[in-house]
Amino acid sequence: MEQGAQGSAETGTEELPVDAVRVPPQLRAADVDRERGAAPGAVRGEHTHSEPAVARPRPAVQRSSVRGQILDALRTALVAGELRPGEVYSAPALGERFGVSATPVREAMQQLALEGAVEVVPNRGFRVVERGARELAELAEVRALIEVPVMLRLARTVPAERWSQLRPLAEATVRAASLGCRATYAESDRAFHRALLALAGNEQLVQIAEDLHRRAQWPLVGGPGSRGRAELVADAAEHVALLEALAARDLDVVRSLVGEHFAGVA
């Protein structure tokens, strides 16, 4: 954010700069119209011609898709530090930035509250949770307890050629890290780890690990810049090294790399 959130004298909520949370490109006018209950493309006061007798099928995209797109955008803003720890944001203010009503924004924020990213502030909005280094260390410990045994088992059973198929995902994290964008790297990092764990064939494991991973990516109090480009690049390089160790079935290196990787917490 180029400037801090400003308080509103009327509502007591934090107002965002115009460019604080970027509208996702997928959130097009048709989606917004559907959210507001209007026909896509309709303009108030505009005369419309009669439609043919054959009714057209209703578009598959409904308001839930708008809510999902806003949820993705808010998660990105959270990781990027555009939604700052300790600050309160109102659904109407965010909805105005997105060009939609407060309803899908509020629903998306309630999902973030379930995930532990924000907390509800009655009559004001949602406060971004302030996290410290201890919570981050606890998340790393839990992730290691879950994923290290799985990685070691996969190293013993998965053929080397399967690991080579995941190399493009590892290389994608390297490219994302080189950009220095924390949000872009976070997404590619989760995709890589998700693909690794999917080889275990346990969807519950994948979902739990994904939730822990996402929580580990939220910024700490003091801003999102605690990890610079060089640290992201080093973290991404561990993905490539991990694939090589898994393919070689070098269990000691796998154990060491995964432990060090979680200690860094991507």
Q: Do 6-128 and 133-264 show the same overall fold? A: no
What is the value of pTM for the model shown? 0.70
What are the structure tokens assigned to 208, written together?
């739990």
Contacts of 4-13 with C-beta under 8 Å, sequence gap 24+, read 4/84, 4/87, 5/84, 5/87, 5/89, 8/90, 8/93, 11/90, 11/124, 12/123, 12/124, 13/88, 13/89, 13/90, 13/93, 13/124, 13/125
Q: Which residues contact 123 (CB under 8 A, 6 or more apart)?
A: 12
CB of 243 within 8 A of CB of 170?
Answer: yes
Q: Enumerate the H helices of the chain as residue ranges.
A: 29-36, 63-80, 91-98, 102-115, 133-157, 160-165, 167-179, 182-198, 203-216, 229-248, 251-264
- Please write the tens of the pLDDT for every residue from 231-260: 899 999 999 999 999 999 999 999 999 988
CB 120, CB 111: distance < 8 Å: no
Model pLDDT, residue 181 = 85
Count CA within 13 A, CB hemisphere, residue 116: 12
pLDDT of residue 222: 59
Task: Report pLDDT for 16.
Answer: 44
Nearest to 214 by CA among 114, 125, 86: 114
| Topology (CATH level 3) of domain 133-264 | Four Helix Bundle (Hemerythrin (Met), subunit A) (1.20.120)
| pLDDT at position 80 | 86
- Residue where the block lists tokens 């590619």: 188
Answer yes or no: are the C-beta atoms of 57 and 91 closer than 8 Å: no
Q: Which residues in the chain land under pLDDT 70?
A: 1-64, 221-227, 264-266
Model pLDDT, residue 229: 83
Q: Position of tokens 């107002």? A: 15
The CATH code for residues 6-128 is 1.10.10.10
Domain boundaries, the chain: 6-128, 133-264
Residue 46 identity (one-letter amino acid):
E
